[in-house]
Amino acid sequence: MIDLRPYLAGAGLALFGLAWVPLSGLLPRTAEPPQPAVLDAYYNLAAQQSITLRSLFTEVPPLDEAGMKERAAGHYEMVCADCHGSPLRPPQQFSRNLSPTPPLLVERMAQWHPPARIFATVKHGISRTAMPGWPTLLRDDEVWDMVAFLRTLPELDAHTYASMIRQDASGDCESCHGMDGQGGIPGTPRLDIQIPDYLAASLEAFRNGTRQSGTMMAAARQLSDDEITQLAHHYGRDVNERGTGTPAGAAEIVQRGIPQRDVPACASCHNNPDRPGYPKLDGQDPAYLFRQLKLFKEHRAERGGPNGHIMAEVVRFLEEDEMKALAQWYGR
């Protein structure tokens, strides 16, 4: 019989030692002065390996679709540029005192960066550094937009970047939603066709985190109740527009639904004067409509919005090509 006591005592002492290291306060964890390079390298290796693991089986979608880069550019300027800089401005002063210091992505993205790794980094963030994860884990589509943008960042000159983020726009919202909320970037909604109540309820949902969009959660987080009311009245002008009215097959679903598959007629709710709080679809951006339909189908009520659960039921048995046709029919 082996005497285990020396081993147990040794293990106990080792545990005590492990506990003592942080308790002693001697382990460098300050941002200024930065921690020793060897500790940086240690954590960095762990972070890189964890990103590798998360990116192994990621399927990369097409990254050259219309509007992808443009949709992400506004979010980059609003959130990321403070730490990482942009073609138009250096990072904020505070970011230079972070440890590790955020890299200048205009330069860094020119190095080897496969899309799946950028995706994992932007979606999950990097713990123990200032690098945040995406505000919602449900919106891979938004994260892919950002990947598409970051891949072109090194080649973007200041002028092109300025026009992508519409630097000349009069307000923060207009850089993405267009002049007076009339839209323009494929996949981003126009606001002018809606009534104020709908816009206000949506903004509250983004602010509370109950409607899932990393971009809008970031844009709405700081808004006060008064600001929401003001913005909703400013942009919600109830403008009447028409969609393309094609393809003809979609008109059938709009008017009568698909009874044999329990799909209700869209027109029973949308554009129905008895349901004024429901969003208008006529003249909306078609790529945005398609994206929302896919979100309802994929995430059901989790997509959120004050009445998101209603749409979650509507799309259950809609096929993707039908959604595309409907988005085109309503879209401008």
Q: How far is the CB of 171 from ligand HEC (least distance, A)?
A: 7
**CA–CA separation, 289 vs 188, rounded Å?**
9
Contact map string, positions 265 to 294, toward ligand HEC, x by CB under 6 A: -x-xxx-------xx-x-------x-xxx-
Q: How far is the CB of 173 from ligand HEC (least distance, A)?
A: 3
* By CB under 6 A, residue 196 contacts ligand HEC: no
| Rounded alpha-carbon distances, angstroms, from residue 74 to 71, 156, 224, 239, 252 | 6, 14, 21, 25, 37
Total site size for ligand HEC, rule CB under 6 A: 67
Structure tokens at 159: 């002028």
**CA–CA separation, 158 vs 90, rounded Å?**
12
**CA–CA separation, 296 vs 303, rounded Å?**
6
**CA–CA separation, 198 vs 302, rounded Å?**
19
Q: How far is the CB of 94 from ligand HEC (least distance, A)?
A: 8
**CA–CA separation, 294 vs 216, rounded Å?**
18
Reference 71, options 211, 216, 236, 232; nearest CA is 216
Beta partners for 263?
258
The amino acid at 157: D
* By CB under 6 A, residue 186 contacts ligand HEC: no
Q: Which is nearer to ligand HEC, 63 or 269 (CB)?
A: 269
* By CB under 6 A, residue 310 contacts ligand HEC: yes
* By CB under 6 A, residue 153 contacts ligand HEC: no
Using the rule CB under 6 A, give the single segment among 4-12, 55-63, 78-86, 154-162 that binds ligand HEC: 78-86
Using the rule CB under 6 A, give the single segment among 4-12, 26-34, 119-127, 241-249 that binds ligand HEC: 119-127
Q: Is the peptide bond before 100 cis (omega within 30 degrees of 0)?
A: yes
Is residue 253 within 8 Å of residue 266, measured between CB atoms? yes
> Tokens 């990482």 belong to which residue?
84
Q: Which of residues 213-242 bind ligand HEC (CB under 6 A)?
A: 213, 215-216, 219, 231, 235
**CA–CA separation, 288 vs 189, rounded Å?**
6
Q: Which is nearer to ligand HEC, 97 or 160 (CB)?
A: 97
* By CB under 6 A, residue 308 contacts ligand HEC: yes
Instruction: Specify the DSSP class assigned to residue 222.
Output: T
**Angle at CA of residue 51, ends 45 and 55, nearest 5°:** 145
| Rounded alpha-carbon distances, angstroms, from residue 138 to 69, 209, 296 | 19, 12, 12
Q: How far is the CB of 15 from ligand HEC (least distance, A)?
A: 29
* By CB under 6 A, residue 71 contacts ligand HEC: yes
Using the rule CB under 6 A, give the single segment among 25-33, 62-70, 151-159, 189-197 that binds ligand HEC: 189-197
Q: What is the CA radius of gyration of the chain?
A: 25
Q: Which is nearer to ligand HEC, 158 or 252 (CB)?
A: 252
Contacting ligand HEC (CB under 6 A), which of 88, 98, 138, 301? 98
Interface residues with ligand HEC (CB under 6 A) are: 44, 47, 71, 74-75, 78-80, 82-84, 95, 98, 100, 102-103, 108, 118, 121-122, 126, 129-132, 146, 150, 172-173, 175-177, 188-189, 191, 194, 199, 202-203, 213, 215-216, 219, 231, 235, 253, 263-264, 266, 268-270, 278-279, 281, 289, 291-293, 305-308, 310-311, 314, 326
